[in-house]
């Protein structure tokens, strides 16, 4: 292979890498970017939209579940639904997961500053972590951790929680529901 072909290939590879980096930078812009740009331009940032929770998950289909449980729910799913129903803010987490740790730290700030009460189930310390993950996927259509529920509805994971916090929507949601002062 000639030297010019090698140099051409290296240049193409470098251009492809630069394009990938540029796309990653564009995708990683935070939700606060419009507010920052508005501040630079001397305008007020747009007001955050009203927060509405997604509709509750549909009940499980009738019939026997994967373990033969009546009503299509496994014992783990029934237990998780009970926890979600009894705790107005319920976090399903893993002790070693950095995203779970980030979400719990954020909620701890709300606990310390504004009196938020929340409960946590550490899935990796459960007797059957895979059953917890599977049941959460059926309940909320999310199979990742953390999974944060407010008044029985999943509001997402760590990134979703951080975005809601940064925009002020999390505080508004919790305040409107009487969960914080």
Q: How far apart (Å, rounded) are the C-alpha atoms in residues 159 and 144?
A: 12
Q: How far apart (Å, rounded) are the C-alpha atoms in residues 150 and 88?
A: 6
| Residue 152: partners with Cβ closer than 8 Å, 6 or more residues away | 56, 84, 85
Write the pLDDT tens digit of every residue in 57-101.
555 444 444 444 456 789 999 999 999 999 999 999 999 999 999
| Residue 55: partners with Cβ closer than 8 Å, 6 or more residues away | 153
pLDDT value at position 85? 94
Write the pLDDT tens digit of every residue in 29-57.
544 455 444 444 555 545 444 444 555 55
> Residue 154's closest CA among 86, 55, 61?
55
| Residue 74: partners with Cβ closer than 8 Å, 6 or more residues away | 65, 66, 67, 131, 134, 135
Classify residue 3 by burial, with Cβ atoms within 10 Å: 0-12, 13-18, 19+.
exposed
> Residue 63's closest CA among 48, 78, 73?
73
Residue 63 CA: distances (Å) to CA of 23, 60, 67, 73, 76: 47, 9, 11, 9, 16
Write the pLDDT tens digit of every residue in 111-160.
999 999 999 999 999 999 999 999 999 999 998 999 999 999 999 999 99
Angle at 147 between CA 141 and CA 149, to 5 degrees: 90
């Amino acid at each position: 292979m000639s030297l010019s072909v090698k140099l051409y290939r290296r240049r193409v590879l470098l251009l492809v890498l630069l394009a990938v980096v540029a796309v990653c930078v564009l995708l990683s812009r935070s939700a606060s970017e419009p507010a920052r740009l508005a501040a630079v331009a001397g305008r007020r940032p747009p007001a955050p939209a009203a927060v509405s929770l997604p509709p509750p998950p549909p009940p499980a289909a009738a019939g026997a579940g994967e373990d033969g449980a009546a009503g299509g729910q496994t014992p783990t799913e029934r237990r998780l639904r009970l926890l979600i129903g009894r705790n107005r803010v319920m976090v399903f987490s893993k002790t070693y997961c950095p995203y779970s740790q980030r979400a719990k730290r954020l909620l701890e700030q709300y606990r310390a500053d504004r009196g938020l009460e929340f409960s946590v189930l550490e899935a990796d310390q459960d007797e059957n972590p895979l059953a917890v993950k599977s049941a959460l996927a059926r309940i909320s259509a999310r199979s990742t951790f953390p999974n944060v529920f407010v008044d029985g509805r999943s509001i997402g994971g760590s990134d979703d929680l951080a975005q809601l916090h940064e925009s002020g929507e999390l505080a508004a949601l919790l305040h409107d529901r009487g969960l914080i002062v």
